[in-house]
Structure 1
Amino acid sequence: MIDKGLEQIYQLFTRSKRNTENIIKTAPLGICVTDPDGHFEMVNAAYCNFYGYTEEELLGKHFTLMVSPANRDQLTTLHDEFIKGDSNQELRQEWEVHGRQGDVYTIIAEAARIEGDDGRPRKVTFIVDITERKQLEERLKKANERLDHLAHHDELTGLFNRRAGLQRLEEEQQRSKRYGNALSIAIFDLDSFKAINDTYGHGIGDDALREVTELVGQTLRSTDIQVRLGGEEFLIIMPEVETQAAKRAMQRVCEAIASARFTSQQIRVTVSTGVACYAETTHRCILDRADDAMYKAKEAGGNGVVIA
């Protein structure tokens, strides 16, 4: 609909230059005419209303008054190139502009070149407010990003969820096989976590899980990948790490957790950990081996690391 209105206005310009001023003043679209140097020669009521200025306040001012200082040089260059060029119609462009009160809007700007009474070119710019549309697009984008995040991450801890984590494990196994790099994993489980929930409630239990996983992330390398498998059980994928190095890393994790206190209740938490190294098996096999080792650590009293 907007395109049709612009096309009709272009046709009117072509048919009769004498009607140009009347067309501009009465058009429902915001329209301005700038001289070869970029100063306002004419602005219609729709243009003034959109930006919050009176006609007298704009006439003679440079058209870049409406954009941020960072974009003024670029817009001035585009204006000058259009005035000096051969094309009578400028490509449609999207810009962020500022009203008199500092409000920020998004517009679509399109321009035509006409000849003034002095024989020199003028630029006629048409603006269409698309601020609401852009805001809707941004909300939809954020909603889609949120859905994508939830599809791959655990909502409580922000870690990879089981599905996404196992996919990453498979990718790391393929990389390890291709390049011959070491790959270790660790599965850890909070000891006696049910007692925490029973004693303090599930809200405190959730806080404990969040705080423990944050501490684990701070203790391990940034390249290690932490996954929530479910409940209080977690997976650590450790690319390019041999078994003994993985064991030492997880011992540091156990010590850090055991020496800390968590939640507003200052709860003491320990974890049991099983470590396994990739040796051209399926991810299910390596997980089972690490899981078995983790249960051996629990049977040994918890707060420790066992290699599969």
Structure 2
Amino acid sequence: MECMKEGLKLLISRSDKEQNEFEKYNNMLVLSRIRLISLANIFLSIFWAYMDWTIINNGADHIYSVTLISMHAISVVISAMFLIFYRWVICKEDNKNSRIISIASKVYVFLYILFGAACSINSQRYTGNIYSYIILVLIAAIVFTLKPSVMLFDFVVNHIIFLIGIGILCNDLNLLLAKLVNSTVLAGAAFLIGFIFYRHRMTEFFYRKKLRENEENFKKLFYANPYPVFITRQKDGKIIEANKRAYKLMGVEAGNLDSFNGINDYIKNDSRVALEQELKEHSSTFNRIIEYDFNGKRKWVTANYEIIDYHDEKCILTGIMDITEIRKAEEELSHYASIDSLTGIMNRRMGLKKLEELLEESKEEFLEFVLCFLDINNLKFVNDTYGHSEGDRYIQTLCSMIKNKLDEEDIFFRVGGDEFIIVFSRKNNCQAENIWNKIKKQFDENNIQKEFPYNIMASHGLFYFCTGMDIDLGHIIEKADKMMYEEKQRLKKEHQTKHSPASDGIF
């Protein structure tokens, strides 16, 4: 009863337009099944002829034999006529043909059940069985599922005809009652089965319709999206759908995805493994910063990923926003925020940050370095005598000479004014002093060439650090600064010994 209630509720809840749409679909489905039954009936006509001949030779009643042969002949003729009708009707798709199909389906199903009733009534003359009626009623309920009101009419009318015919030809009252009860129960069960099939077919129809509508809406949103969107197969990363913005971002022509590899091949940073793992665990991930390289075009994007079912495959829906220009601007700002504008080397903030990172690293593994505190000599003299622009040139030249002698892993930054720090990474005092001597030698060679009207000079102080030393960054710099100051004072005294006291200002 609950099934009947749900089925009736489903029928009532649909509008006339939806009901007509489903009926048109259902009638075409029934029509195609009638075609299959008609073909089967024509192919079995030889078998029917053989069976009729066998029954007649076994001494069947004349009326029974004539009726049986006539019914089989009529069924073959009707099947052939229907096949001709079917070929004609499928070539046209207008409202008038829809009504013709509906009428033809209803008439055929009614006659189909009637044929079963007539066969079983005729069988009372020879075998007394009602199998034909029962079988065809069940086939009609399962295969030719029409509107419940139509099926109810067909079953009731044909069952009344069947009961009347059986009542006339069956002389055994007990056997008659058994046939009436059994056939009525089976007819009722057949109607219930037909009703259930009809309800499921209607549910499936509207479910598929909803899926198609959702897919159409999805496609509209997908292709109209102002941001790049594409769909990739989860198993191999192959792009199977992309909107215009995505084509433009990837630098390929619309529709030309066959030559485009799996999207994972274009992820250039180490986030690919993490991305796949997160999708595996959560089926989606949002606002990820990903770097892509599309055929040499580097792109930074903010990406959202979600696993979806698309065309019966597990796929990844990806929506991205190109932030390449924003990223470039950030990198440029970061560069300017960490670089000294005059010398092009790191500024104090970035240099001290690198030193702090180096000290943290030394807590986990053995590490040694030499910090060199550097002060440019006679910079004030150059500024006062030749102007600040020449002083800037002096600083730039000295920094360029130093950079040429440093390794890639070394750190070199400006503390401020005429003070600089060099960190000779993974070197001891002796190695650091050797490098400083090479730098100083370059100063001397330049001074000999008299490229500038003044000498390029600098004082330095070294402090060696290695893992295990209990000292902080401030004290390291302080000790190197003290060593630098001592050297500066020594050089000043040496210079005073060789020159007049009036030249003190050059230091």
TM range, normalised to the smaller chain? Answer: 0.5 to 0.7
Q: Is the 8 A contact 1:105 1:129 kept in 2?
A: no
1:271 CA displacement: 0.8
Percent of aligned pairs sharing the same letter: 17
| CA 72–233 in structure 1, closer or farther in 2 if over 3 Å, else same | closer
Cα deviation digits, residues 231-290 of structure 1 (max 9, x gap): 2233444464336x65554333222113227xxx85553214244555988432442232
Equivalence for 1:260: 446
Cα deviation digits, residues 80-110 of structure 1 (max 9, x gap): xxxxxxx9x9746879597xxx997956564
Equivalence for 2:380: 194
Output the amino acid matched with 1:142.
E
Distance 1:64 1:48 in 2: 16
Q: Is the 8 A contact 1:32 1:124 kept in 2?
A: no
Q: Is the 8 A contact 1:184 1:242 kept in 2?
A: no
Matched ranges for 1:180-219 at <5 A: 183=370, 185-190=372-377, 192-219=378-405
Aligned with 2:340 (options 154, 167, 172): 154
| CA 182–128 in structure 1, closer or farther in 2 if over 3 Å, else same | closer
Equivalence for 2:429: 242
1:140 CA displacement: 6.3
| Worse-matched range after superposition: 159-168 or 250-259 | 159-168
TM-score by length of 1: 0.54
Q: Is the 8 A contact 2:345 2:414 kept in 1?
A: yes
Equivalence for 2:46: none
| CA 253–112 in structure 1, closer or farther in 2 if over 3 Å, else same | closer
Distance 1:129 1:70 in 2: 16
Q: Is the 8 A contact 1:114 1:123 kept in 2?
A: yes
TM-score by length of 2: 0.36
Which structure carries more helix by proportion?
Answer: 2
Q: Is the 8 A contact 1:275 1:293 kept in 2?
A: yes
Q: Is the 8 A contact 2:230 2:246 kept in 1?
A: no
Cα deviation digits, residues 157-188 of structure 1 (max 9, x gap): 2445456656739967x969x97968564534
Q: Is the 8 A contact 1:157 1:213 kept in 2?
A: yes
Distance 1:179 1:126 in 2: 47
Which structure carries more strand by proportion?
Answer: 1
Q: Is the 8 A contact 1:13 1:19 kept in 2?
A: no
Output the amino acid matched with 2:211.
K
Output the amino acid matched with 1:289.
M
Q: Is the 8 A contact 2:373 2:419 kept in 1?
A: no
Equivalence for 1:300: 494
Extract unaligned runs of 5+ from structure 2: 1-205, 249-253, 268-279, 497-507
Greater C-alpha radius of gyration: 2
Aligned with 1:270 (options 456, 471, 478): 456
| CA 184–233 in structure 1, closer or farther in 2 if over 3 Å, else same | closer
Are residues 1:135 and 2:329 paired? no
Distance 1:163 1:32 in 2: 43
Q: Is the 8 A contact 2:304 2:319 kept in 1?
A: yes
Q: Pairwise CA RMSD of aligned residues?
A: 5.4
Distance 1:180 1:32 in 2: 48
Output the amino acid matched with 2:308.
A
Cα deviation digits, residues 129-167 of structure 1 (max 9, x gap): 512xx23652564266337x53xx533224454566567
Distance 1:180 1:246 in 2: 15
Output the amino acid matched with 1:113.
D
Distance 2:369 2:428 in 1: 5
SS of residue paired to 1:260: helix
| CA 252–71 in structure 1, closer or farther in 2 if over 3 Å, else same | same
1:294 CA displacement: 1.6
Q: Is the 8 A contact 1:31 1:125 kept in 2?
A: no
Distance 1:242 1:255 in 2: 18
Q: Is the 8 A contact 1:188 1:272 kept in 2?
A: yes
Equivalence for 1:229: 415
1:122 CA displacement: 5.8
| CA 163–260 in structure 1, closer or farther in 2 if over 3 Å, else same | same
Q: Is the 8 A contact 1:224 1:237 kept in 2?
A: yes
The one of the two structures with greater contact order (alpha-carbon pairs below 8 A, sep at least 6) is 1
Matched ranges for 1:1-308 at <5 A: 16-20=210-214, 22-24=216-218, 26-27=220-221, 28-29=224-225, 47-48=243-244, 51=247, 58=255, 63-64=257-258, 67=260, 69=261, 71=263, 91=284, 108=304, 110=306, 112-114=308-310, 121=312, 128-131=319-322, 134-135=323-324, 138-139=327-328, 141-142=330-331, 145-146=334-335, 149-150=337-338, 154-162=340-348, 168=355, 183=370, 185-190=372-377, 192-222=378-408, 224-238=410-424, 240-242=427-429, 246-260=432-446, 266=452, 268-277=454-463, 282-283=475-476, 284-301=478-495
Distance 2:356 2:367 in 1: 15
Distance 1:32 1:187 in 2: 56
Extract unaligned runs of 5+ from structure 1: 1-11, 76-86, 116-120, 303-308
SS of residue paired to 2:441: helix
